[in-house]
Structure 1
Amino acid sequence: MQLHTKRALTSRVHEAPDFAAAQELYHSNGWTDGLPIVPPTEAAVEACLEWAGMDPDQLLGIEPVRGQPITAEKLAINAVMAGCLPMHFPAVATAWQAMHKDEFLLHGVTSSTGGCAILVILNGPIRLEIGANATFNALGNSDRATAVIGRAIRLALINLMDVRPGGIDRATLGHPGKYSYCLAEDEEDMTWEPLHIQRGMPEGTSGVTVFAAMGPRQIMNEWTTDPKEILETFAAEMRANQLHYSIYGGNYVIVIPKQLRDHIQAAGWTKKNIAEYIFERARVERGEWANVGKGSVVRDRASKVHPALQSPDDLLVVAAGGPAGGFGAVIPPWMGSKTRAVTAAIGVCVDCEPPKPVK
């Protein structure tokens, strides 16, 4: 295959006599997440860059504290280490660029004691091209694509931003999503608008949404077909998160598998209807904190109402999961509205300035 990268790779090269020695080299230097890596050969890194049409020195973001530039070459190295094929790299690169938007608050997300992970949600044709599974075990890395894309984000944070436990990463507990946290939407088996289109991306594009997320909280309601009763269970879990974790509103993700989704769609409910209903139902009074051991912070504000969502638009509704079982999931935010979910189109510049006419 003829490679067309315009500039040579500039990263330092390490030699290892065999695969086992390469693993020990990476582990001993703290360059992994504790799992084995794929040695990032020059050919593999160049193949990722060529697939994405990127030069090695293309700037993907600036590390927000030390001002360190993050280049496509460095990200591709970590993507290969995570197990990515070239076809996976555009999603990784787009997710990384989205993470660098100011509203995402990357430094806070990755350094907090709260211990969130970065959830990546895939939409559009790319899901089918890379074999991302949106059904069985959808939140459990059930396929190669979602597993390695999510892992590439974490490895890049470790190696490009020094986000290591006990260093920049100050997480008290963290959660398993820090290994890999990537989900594809089941667009073929829903009547709803895909998430990225809802959030402003053009029709026909592929997109990624990044979200600073705590671990998924699974719910179950097999005893009704009424959309309001089903969604009340989701709202109750969101209220529980407000009481047990953070009372402040921000983005939430709810994942609705097929069994519950079919009931909601059959009743004619759209994602907008879902969000408007949950916006009204997922809220608590500050005084309720007294019932969960937090009475000392209630003071004279017991009647103050705290909605889980600042507006219905804050709810990210995702269709995914296996075909049977009355289950769903609520994925809470790291810290209210301090960070915002960001959606970006893959391979398309949505907000670029139009070309100026030639005189």
Structure 2
Amino acid sequence: MSDESSNSESFEELYRSLYEEGMTDGLPVVPPTEERVAEMLRGTDHPRDHVIGRLGNNDNPLTVEDLAANAVMAGCVPPYLPVLEAGARALADPDSNSIQFSVSTGSWAYQWIVNGPVRNELDIESGTGAFGPNYHANQTISRALGMAYRNTAKIYPGEKDMGVMGNPAKFYMLAGENEEASPWEPYHVTHGYDVDDSTITLAGPNGWSQWVPRENTAEQILRDMIENTPRSMRGSSGEDLNATVTHAINPYNADELAKADLSKDQIKSYLVENSDMRTEGRPVLLEDEQLFEDTDIHLKQVSQYQDNNSVKIATIGGSGAFNAIIGMSIGGPVTKQIQFPDNWASLVEEYEFDRNWYPEEGFYE
């Protein structure tokens, strides 16, 4: 977008134009002027025309400049660009199956988990309210990646995006893992990275369920992990459908599980071996009284998860006993290491947010 147009048109006119062209997510955006895009590009050592990956059925190229323009529109700042580049590589990875959960009738979302030192450097929240509103990096990074996919792959509702209900999590769904409060190794270490690496992980769930254990004992937590998982959230790691379910465990309950000497892998094994009981067979409708006859329905123990690879566990959240079950994801999860430009340290210092959310004096004083 030229600077001349930004000078001659009002902010409202520019937003309206971008919306009418299908380039936004429906919310107001920051106009991607040449100056703003150039400033965003300070966050990378790659040239503008570097192709990060190809997205959508038509393998449309996503360049660094394209990503920077979407980052501007989403409200990002230049230090976020390395995280966005890694996220874009995850979206372009065929193993993520991103095209399927971008267009399917199931209304899937983009779910992101960030690990490593970058969480603290960019103030990516992993504690209280991590998946909710309030935190600039969490919201704008995930929003930018969603818009970049939409604008590159040219996905519009009713044309390519056939989500029947739509999914509010498609606006943003990003959290850091609360590594400091976790009794286990971080998510990215579980999946082969070094603890000092910074990574971003992509999955594509269509459901979210919160729950609290009836008792804060390891045995009850495990039972409630099974009981509170919707039957629609099924996991498999086969070639036909790689589907996973992510259990986001709060630090309080994670500690209780760890005190019982339960590792992540042991928890996964318990879930695989003990869930779930469901009916099989089709009920028959009786014509006379319009009742369902249950004679051909039988109960059979069917595992909700094919194997341990179908279950993912991350420690996320703050104080309290609520946990979340996120799934199922029909692709990935895919983890990519974040690569930083030479000017990273100075850029972070320049754009550091000085949050003063809890002043000693009242808001109205």
TM-score interval, smaller chain: 0.7 to 0.9
Kindly provide the amino acid, as one letter, of the partner of residue 147 in structure 2: L
Structure 1 distance, partners of 2:113, 2:166, is 20
Matching of residues 96-175 of structure 1 within 5 Å: 96-175=88-167
Query: Residue type matched to 1:319 in 2?
Result: T
Q: CA deviation at 1:135?
A: 1.3
Tell me which moved more, 301-310 or 273-282. 301-310
The match for 2:5 is 15
Tell me the secondary structure at the aligned position of residue 200 of structure 2. strand
Residue 270 of structure 2 corresponds to which residue in structure 1? 277
Q: Alpha-carbon deviation of 1:262? A: 2.4
Paired residues, number: 324
TM normalised by structure 1 equals 0.83
Question: 2:280 is paired with a residue of what secondary structure?
Answer: helix
> How far apart are the structure 1 equivalents of 2:4 and 2:209?
42
Q: Which residue of 2 aligns with 1:329?
A: 324
Q: Cα RMSD between the aligned structures? A: 2.7
* Residue 240 of structure 1, aligned match among 222, 226, 231: 231
Instruction: Specify the structure having the higher radius of gyration (Cα).
Output: 2
Distance 1:302 1:33, change over 3 A: same
Which amino acid in the other structure matches residue 253 of structure 1? T
Separation in 2 of the partners of 1:284 and 1:122?
A: 34
Change (3 A) 1:134 1:49: same
Judge conservation of contact 1:177–1:215 (CA < 8 Å) in 2.
no
Give deviations 1:59-106, integer Å, cap 9, x for gaps.
Answer: 111124213211111111101111111111111111111122222222
In 2: Cα distance, 1:269 partner to 1:43 partner? 53
Q: Look up the SS of the partner of 1:209 in the other structure.
A: strand
Structure 2 CA distance for partners of 1:91 and 1:284, relative to 1, 3 Å: farther
Q: Is the 8 A contact 1:51 1:87 kept in 2?
A: yes
Q: Displacement of 1:304 after TM fit?
A: 6.2
1:231 aligns with 2:222: yes
Q: CA deviation at 1:129?
A: 0.7
Of the three residues 244, 247, 255, the one matched with 1:251 is 244
Q: Name whichever of 152-161 and 307-316 sits farther off.
A: 307-316
After TM superposition, the structure 1 = structure 2 runs for residues 207-226 of structure 1, keeping only pairs within 5 Å, are 207-221=199-213, 223-226=214-217
Deviations 1:153-178 (A, max 9, x none): 21112211112211210000122101
CA distance in 1, matches of 2:322, 2:142: 23
Query: What letter matches 1:227 in structure 2?
Result: A
Alignment gaps of 5+ in structure 2: 235-240, 285-291, 341-365
User: Percent identical across equivalent pairs?
Assistant: 27
Residues 332 and 71 of structure 1, relative CA distance in 2, 3 Å threshold: same
Q: So what's the TM-score if we normalise by structure 2? A: 0.81
Q: Does 1:95 align with 2:90?
A: no
Which string of whole-angstrom CA distances, capped at 9 and with x for unpartnered residues, describes residues 102-133 of structure 1? 22222211111001011011100111011011
